[in-house]
Structure 1
Amino acid sequence: MFKHSQLESVKAWVAHPAHAAMPLHARVQRAIRQLIVDGVLGAGKPLPASRALAQSLGVSRDTIEVAYGQLHAEGFIERRVGSGSFVAEMTEFAPGRRLSQRDALHRNQAPKLSKRGTAMFGSGGIREQLLPRPFVHGVPETRTFPLPLWERLERQVRKELGAQTLLHCDPQGTEPLRRAIADYVNLERGARASADRVLVLTSSQQALSLCANMLLDPGDRVFIEDPAYYGARKAFDAAGLECVPIPVDRQGLVVDQITAQPRRAKAVFLTPSHQFPTGATLALDRRLALIEWAARHQTWIIEDDYDSEFHYAGKPTACVQGLDPHDRTVYIGTFTKSLFPGLRIGYVVLPPQLVKPMTVARTLLDGHSASMAQLTLARFMEGGHFGAHVRTMRGVYAQRLDVLVRLVRKYLSGFVEPRVPVGGLQLPCVLTCDLAERTVVDAAQRVGIELLGLSGLQHARHGEAGFLMGFAAYTPLEIEGAVKKLAKALRAAAKS
C-alpha cells in the first residue's frame, strides 16, 4: 500500500484545477508516474491493488486498471500475475534519488552555448510590441486594412486550388507572387528584377541573417551606417562579423569614408530611401560612387528598402539595385510595413549567381513561406489592390506626420527638436534640454508611451541624444492625447 503521504500526493494531483481537463484515469496515471520519476516510489516497490486504490481515491476500479495499464505500457511498472503491480527496475529513478549539490549547481548555471549562440542570445533579439501603443515605431495602421477583400481573395484561392494550398511549396516562393513582386519593384522602385531573381522569405530580418551567413565569414568586415538599424547590427554581430560604422549626414551615408578606407570590407549595409533612423535619403552621386566601389572591389551592397512606399515629398529616388549594372546589390523588401505585420512575408531580389545558394540555405531555416498567404498576396497585387492601399495609406500617414510635427512643436518645445523626414513611419526628435535620453525614455514608459532612444542605434553612443516617434498606427486624436501625456511626463521629470 501507499504511505499516507504518497496517497495524499496522488489525491492532490488528481484534484488540482490545472489538471481538470484530463480524463480521470490519466490524472491517476500521471500522479503515480510523478512519484516514480521523483524517486518517491523506488524500484521494486509494490503498488496498491487496483480495488484498494480505487476505494481510497473514490473512483471506479476500471479507472485504476486503465491507469496501471498505461504505466505498464510506458515501462514504469511491472505487472505480475498473482503478485500485483511493482515499480519497474529503472536506475534513472532510483529510490529517494535527489540532485547532488554539484548537479543542482550545474542545472542553475547558464547553458553552454556556441560562440554564435552566445552572440545571438546576448543581443537580446528583436522584440516587437504585440499590441502597439504610442509611439512604437515601424508599425502601420491595421484597423482600416481591407480585411473583407483579403478574405474574399483567400476564399478564391482555396476554391480554385483546394488541397494544393495545404502542401509544401517552392522554397523560392510561389511563381505568381514572385512575378507580382518583380513587376511592382520594377515599376515603383526602378529595380532590375524578374520572377526568377526573387526569393520570398518570412521577413527582412531573415534576409539579413541569410546575407550575413552566406556572403561573409566570421571576422569579415561589413560597413554599416552610423546610426544604424538595430536588426541589421544584431544579425551581423551574431554571424561574427566586424561592423565598421560609417557616419550619416543629411545626404545619407558618407560614401567618401568607405572609398578612403585602407582596409576593405566584404559588404556594405544601407537604408538609402529613408535612412534608419535619421530619415535621410542617399544622394544620387553617392549611390553611383558606391556602385562603382562595389564593382571594383567585388564586394556586396545590401540594400534594405524597408518602407520606401511611404514617401511624402516628391518622387522617391530609384533604388540602388536598379542603378547597379554589375549585379553586386542584394535588394531587401517587406510587406510588414506596407500591409500588416502578421502577414510575415518579405523578399529579396538577388543577383542571378546568388539565387540558388540563397534558396538552398533558406531550406535549412524554415523550408518555405505559407503558400496560402503568398497566393492571396499575389492576387491582392495583381488586382491593383496593393497599389491602391499604399496610395491611400500614403495620404493618411502624411497627414499624421504633419499632425505629430505640429503637436511636438507646440507641446514639446524646449524639450526636443523634430527632424522632419521626407518619408517613412517615424519621426526622429533630438533632445534640446538637459534631460538625459534614458530619463526621457523611462518617464515616457511610466505613462504608457514607447520611445526608441537614438543613442542605442549609434556606434559607441557618441551621437545626438533623442528618440523616434512612430506615428503611422495612431489617429490624430490618439497622437494628440499621447503628446500631451508625454509633455506632462517630461515636465515632471525636469522638476525632479
Structure 2
Amino acid sequence: MTVPTAALSIEIDRQTSLPIYLQICERFRTAIAAGHLRPGERVPALRSLATQLSTARGTVELAYTILVDEGYLQMRGAAGTFVSPSLPASVVRAARAQSVQVAGATPSATATGIPQTPGGSRPAPRQPAIAAAMSGEPRPLQPGLPALDAFPRKVWNRLVSHRARSGERAMLAYPDPTGYRPLREHIATYLGLSRGVTCLPEQVFVTGGYRATLELVLRSLARPNDRVWYEDPGYLLARGFLAETGVQLVPVPVDSDGIDVEHGTRLDAQARFALVTPSHQSPLGYTLSLARRMALLDWAEQASGWIVEDDYDSEFRYLGRPLPALKSLDRRDRVIYCGTFSKVMFPGLRLAYVVVPERAVERVGRVACSMNAGSPTLFQAAVADFIEQGHFARHLKRMRALYGERRMLIVHALKEVLGERLMVELPPGGIQFAARFAEGSDGPVDDVAFAARAHDAGLAALPLSIWYANSRTQRTPRGIVMGFANIFDAGEADRLARTLRACLDR
C-alpha cells in the first residue's frame, strides 16, 4: 500500500540569524502541534524538501535527525520518514493548550495562608563521608556523577556566551521564581515525548536542585507532622532533608519489584506522601513493577495522598527503551513528577524541575514567589537553547552508548579482581549501581569502615548499609554504591577494582 506524503508548506526566513536547520525543526514542531501533520503521516523526502527550500540536502538531514532524536519523526529506511505514531496527545494539543491559562496559574506576589513545615525533628544521622563523596571535587566511583569529560563544553560555553553578550535585560534582572518560560515550555514538550508525561508549561516549575524541589513541594502541600512513605533503602540526601522539615518518615521496604505498597499500607495507610524512585530505585536499581505502580496510584487515590516521583536518571537505560514514567499512568492527578539536569548535563548547573498537578498550580506558584528563589535566568536560557537546537537530544543519545560501555568496564574488572567476594546485580539503567559483599568467615563486612578506607584512598564509593533506616542491624545488607560514568578505559577500571580489593583486605 502506498502511503501519501502529507502536504506541507515550509517557509524559511534567510534574513534571520536562526540557522535554517533549526527553522525547519520549528516549522515541523508547529505543524505537528497544530494538527497539520498527524501521527503516522509520511513527511517529504530529504532531497524533495531540500529542493523545495533551495537548500543543501545535509541541512534538511540535520533537521530530520534532531526531530527523530526528539521523538517527533521516525525514519523507516526505504519506506521514508514519518511523523511518530506514538506521539503523546499533549504534543498534538500543544498549540491549543499553550493558549489556555491554567485556572489561577498566575502566582500572586503574596503567599498568605501557606502552611510552613517547621523544623525541630531530630535530624537523620550523617556519616562523615557522605557530603564529601557526593559534592565538591569529583572523585572516582562517585555515585550520581555524569561523565564530565564527555559533556559538550564548547557548545555549552558558546550558548552561555551568546546569551551573556545578547544584552537582554532579563539575563541581569531577578529571575522568575517559577522558571524561565521558554525552558518550562521545552521541558513540558520533552516530557511529553520522552516520558509520556502530559503537562502544560504552567505546571512546570524550575528549581535549584532536588532539595529545592522537595522544599517547594512540602511548603506548598504538607502540614506539620504529615507522614511520608520513604523507600527503605532510599536516597540518602533526601532522607536527611525530610527529617529536618517536620514530617514523619515511614520507612517502607523495597524488593525486586520496588517499594512494597501492601507493606506500606499495613504500616500507615493514611500517610499523606510517598517518595519513590520508580524507574531506577535508589540505590538498588530495581524498577517498580506495573502491579505495584497501579497499587501505589490506588493508595494515593484512597488516601487523598501525593506521590512524589523522583525520576532522576531514567534517560539512561541499556536494555530496551526508557520506561514510561509513573506519572504517565496517573489518571487521578496524584503524582508530583520531579526531574533534574544534574544527571543528564552536569550537577554544577543546579537546575531541576517539578511538574505539579493542575489543582496545585496556584498554591505552588504562590509559594515559589514567597520563596523568591529563582535560578539564574542566564543558565536557564542557555539550557533552553541547548534543548531547542538539538544538542540535548544528541547528548543523551551519545551518553546512553558511552555509559553502556563504561558500566561493563567496571563490572568486568570487579569480577576479575574481587571474584565472589563482591556480588554485582547490574540494573538495566542508571549511572550507578549497588554491589553486596559476600559474608566472610568473620561475619558481615563492615562496609562503613570499608568506605572510609576507600575514601582515604581517593575513591568516593558509599557504604550500602547507610541507605537503610536501620543501618547497623545484623540483617542489613552490606556493600558499596558506586558510579561508573567517569571510568575512561579498561586500565582505569582495573586500577579502581584493585584499590577496592586493597581496602577490603585491610
Residue 456, structure 1, aligned to residue 466, structure 2: yes
Taking the aligned partners of 1:430 and 1:397, their CA distance within structure 2 comes to 21
| Distance change (3 Å), C-alpha of 1:302 and 1:121 | closer
* Structure 2 partner of 1:49: none
| Distance change (3 Å), C-alpha of 1:262 and 1:441 | closer
Residue 135, structure 1, aligned to residue 141, structure 2: yes
Indicate if the aligned counterparts of 1:190 and 1:318 stay in contact, CA closer than 8 A: yes
Taking the aligned partners of 2:201 and 2:434, their CA distance within structure 1 comes to 36
- Secondary structure at the residue paired with 1:469? strand
Residue 486, structure 1, aligned to residue 500, structure 2: yes
* Structure 2 partner of 1:474: 487
Q: Which runs of 4+ in 1 moved over 4 A?
A: 117-127
Read off the aligned partner of 2:402 and give its amino acid letter. V
| Distance change (3 Å), C-alpha of 1:336 and 1:379 | same
Residue 300, structure 1, aligned to residue 306, structure 2: yes
| Distance change (3 Å), C-alpha of 1:262 and 1:236 | closer
CA deviation profile, 1:160-195 (whole Å, cap 9, x unmatched): 453331112321111110010011111111111221
* Structure 1 residue 419, shift from structure 2 partner: 1.5
* Structure 1 residue 357, shift from structure 2 partner: 1.9
User: TM-score, normalised on structure 1?
Assistant: 0.73
Read off the aligned partner of 1:358 and give its amino acid letter. V
Taking the aligned partners of 2:314 and 2:377, their CA distance within structure 1 comes to 26
Taking the aligned partners of 1:262 and 1:438, their CA distance within structure 2 comes to 31
The answer for unaligned runs of 5 or more in structure 2 is: 1-116
| Distance change (3 Å), C-alpha of 1:329 and 1:466 | same
* Structure 2 partner of 1:3: none
* Structure 2 partner of 1:437: 447
Taking the aligned partners of 2:342 and 2:352, their CA distance within structure 1 comes to 7
Read off the aligned partner of 1:372 and give its amino acid letter. L
Taking the aligned partners of 2:197 and 2:226, their CA distance within structure 1 comes to 28
| Distance change (3 Å), C-alpha of 1:234 and 1:489 | closer
* Structure 1 partner of 2:281: 275
Taking the aligned partners of 1:309 and 1:115, their CA distance within structure 2 comes to 35
Q: 1:35-114 to 2 correspondence within 5 Å?
A: none
Q: CA RMSD in A?
A: 2.1
* Structure 1 partner of 2:158: 152
Q: 1:289-438 to 2 correspondence within 5 Å?
A: 289-434=295-440, 435-438=445-448
* Structure 2 partner of 1:186: 192
* Structure 2 partner of 1:20: none
Indicate if the aligned counterparts of 1:199 and 1:355 stay in contact, CA closer than 8 A: no
Taking the aligned partners of 1:292 and 1:341, their CA distance within structure 2 comes to 34
* Structure 1 residue 271, shift from structure 2 partner: 0.2
Give % identity. Answer: 34
| Distance change (3 Å), C-alpha of 1:321 and 1:172 | same
* Structure 2 partner of 1:265: 271
* Structure 2 partner of 1:207: 213
* Structure 1 residue 115, shift from structure 2 partner: 7.5
User: TM-score, normalised on structure 2?
Assistant: 0.71
Greater RCO, 1 or 2 (C-alpha within 8 Å, sep 6+): 2
Taking the aligned partners of 1:204 and 1:115, their CA distance within structure 2 comes to 19
* Structure 1 residue 273, shift from structure 2 partner: 0.5
The answer for unaligned runs of 5 or more in structure 1 is: 1-113
* Structure 1 partner of 2:119: 116
Read off the aligned partner of 1:479 and give its amino acid letter. A
CA radius of gyration, larger in: 1
Read off the aligned partner of 1:466 and give its amino acid letter. G
